[in-house]
Chain A
Amino acid sequence: MVQSKVDFITGGVIAAVAAIMFIMTFSFEEFAGAGVGVGVEFMPRVIAVLMLITAVVIMINAYRNRDKQIKVIDGETGLEVEEEDPNSKNYKKLSISLGAMIIYAILTPFIGFLLSSILYLITQMFILSDNDKKKLIVIGTISIVMSVIVYFIFRNVFYVMLPQGIIG
């Protein structure tokens, strides 16, 4: 997708978020006749309006540049970003990773940090190693050893009471 198109959609989404944010400020509770100065709703409204303006500016810029191949410069490094090759995308791996993380977070309170970490580590390492079955033994060993080390160091040395779940 062309960067200007991405920008246009981004601006639109942010504008919508800003509008919702602005509307939400009207349901804030407050003391009747709260003190002097501005109330809890003042800053959120200012920020929402500024966000809306910025989003619209981004959309206008994107529209004006719609046909141009604009140079994209990375905000943090100042480097020019190469146009990505769509063939190098791997959304399947991405969504499995994201899914694994979410399941990890959901499972942790139930089966405990230790078990869920072992399961997550094996899954995530396997995905990132391009499903290399030859590495499964190494991955499994590292996963179990690391989970046990992290769990016991943090529970017993640093007293971070990681969830125990069913093994507690």
Chain B
Amino acid sequence: MIQSLLEGFGNVLSISTILLILGGTILGLIFGSIPGLTATMAVAICLPITYGMNPIAGMSLLMGLYIGGVSGGLIPAILLKLPGTPSSIATTFDGYPLAQKGEAGKAFSFAIIASFLGGLVSILLLIMVAPPLGQVALKFGPYEYFAIVIFSLTLIASLSGDSLPKGILSGLLGIGFAMVGSAPIDAFPRFTFGISAFDAGFDLMPVLIGLFAISEILLVAEKRGYQALKVNIKKINYKVPLKEYLEEKWNFVRSAAIGIGIGILPGIGGGTANLIAYAAAKNSAKKPEEYGKGTPGGVVASETSNNAAIGGALIPLMSLGIPGDTVTAMLLGGLVLHGLQPGPLLIQNNAPVVYGIFAALLIANVFMAILLFAGMRGFVRLLSIPQYILLPIIMTLCVVGAYGVNNRMFDVYALLFFGLIGYLMLKVRIPLTPLVLGFILGPLLETNLRRGLMLSQGDFMPFVTQPIAALFLLVTVVSVGWKIYKSFKAKQKMKESNEKVAYDN
């Protein structure tokens, strides 16, 4: 294996390929940092450019785009509270408060180091376990996936703030919106109101950009005198003592494991991983009340997990030909374009290309960290651009991003629709994040439920009797029960203190 990897490096270490990786990483970072433009779009747009290249060079460029695209999202997440990509949603929760406290530099340091290490660990794991793990995942069927999706959905509970019903409602709305269009499996149109434009359903891109970017512009428009932050660039301190990094080591390990684990699961990627890792970090933190107010732990959890999801998502892609998220679906297309047959035989038949891809990932990961550190001061300058200039420009980029997904205006209208929905939800204080989780996971839930029922001839029993599925459902029940118990306890405590106040008066 070591020898294969060295051969892989040998194949990648030519000036032109290195330049392609560097260019890909820079472009990926730019796409990742502009809200509305994502790694998926970067890969999709560059795919045609790689036609003329040899497979290793072409795939190297795409790997640079992937790493850069996932990592670039941390820049606007920290500076502008706008997730540049779905992978950085949770980075906004603590990164932005940190930046507002004047500690943008610190947030950057943590985010970049977490991204680099998360990516490194996951890529190394990918190189080591892709073949054997593929063998196990081969045995996963619809029952197991159904149970895993149910488990992921219940994490909504930890992301819903004070009101559990509102969080659940948001998640249900997400599942509902995902149902518009052709049904999974038999493709009958649902909730299309007879309009053919609705047949393909809502694309994730306009939903995300609309909810998180457009709603923000509308909120700013509503609030009078909302001005740009005046941050003195010279005063920002990027240095963080080693001790502070080390304090987050368990958080890092947990988030990396979550990122890799979720990345491996087909259909879910960095966009879900960062939210779940954030929730997990908050739940097991010594001071969970600091989360959301600007603690480095939140940034570490989010940025570690989203980069760790890269290696995770590539594991099923390389070993089985199953894409773990939208970007790897694009990469799958890239492999096919270059005449490589994805599937369990890929590593066996095309070892030089596969190990070349591994080497390219490691190199791109280093480029990413260097580029971000070197360009940090430039990124911080974004803060001094007044919001009245930046937000409308972001709007036009959102329109481009939404339109570019499928080259159709429908996605732009969907963008506005979800912008309005997001704004209304923020106004009545329904959290947005569970909606995203529901939107991504809903179709998976339904597909696997129906597939499982077809397999079992309509019998629901295998969902609870298959060991792996049963285990996940059990964990789900326990974690939900725990959450309800905890919130019940908290409510009682609040009641007691209220009564005491009443008595004292």
0/1 string, B410-424, CB within 8 A of A gives 1: 001101100110000
Asked if B224 and A93 sit within 8 Å, CB to CB, the answer is yes
B159 contacts partner chain A, Cβ-Cβ < 8 Å: yes
Docked-complex contact B165 and A36, CB < 8 angstroms: no
CB contacts under 8 Å to A, within B9-64, are 45, 48
List CB contacts (< 8 Å) of B285-317 with chain A.
288-289, 291-293
The answer on a CB contact under 8 Å between A104 and B172 is no
Which residues in A have their C-beta under 8 angstroms from that of B119?
Answer: none
Query: Please, how many residues of chain A have a CB less than 8 angstroms from a CB on the other chain?
Result: 79
Q: Are A154 and B163 in contact (CB under 8 A)?
A: no
A24 engages B191 (CB within 8 Å): yes
B residues within 8 A CB of A74?
161, 292, 429, 431
| Complex CA–CA separation, A21 to B166 (angstroms) | 19
Contact-size category for B: 35 or more
Beta-carbon contact of A105 and B416 below 8 Å: yes
**B contact residues around A104 at 8 Å (CB):** 395, 399
For A75, give its contact among B161, B393, B419 (CB under 8 Å): B161
B222 at the A interface (CB under 8 A): yes
B93 lies within 8 A of A77 (CB): yes
The answer to whether A101 and B416 touch across the interface, beta carbons within 8 angstroms, is: yes
* Residue B183 is within 8 A (CB to CB) of chain A in the complex: yes
Complex CA gap A163/B407 in Å reads 9
The reply to whether the CB of B162 lies closer than 8 angstroms to some CB of chain A is yes
| Min CB–CB distance A42 → chain B (angstroms) | 8
Q: Which of A38, A61, A90, A109 contacts B223 (CB 8 A)?
A: A90
What are the 6 closest A-B residue pairs judged by CB atoms, nearest first? Answer: A75-B431, A37-B453, A75-B161, A77-B292, A128-B388, A78-B292
Residues of B within 8 A of A (CB): 45, 48, 92-93, 97, 159-163, 165-169, 172-173, 175-176, 179, 183, 186, 188-191, 214, 217-218, 220-225, 282, 288-289, 291-293, 386-389, 391-393, 395-397, 399-400, 403-404, 407, 409, 412-413, 415-416, 419-420, 427-433, 442, 445-446, 449-450, 452-454, 456-458
A-B contact pairs, 7 of them (CB 8 A): A54-B168, A76-B292, A90-B221, A109-B409, A125-B389, A128-B392, A139-B389
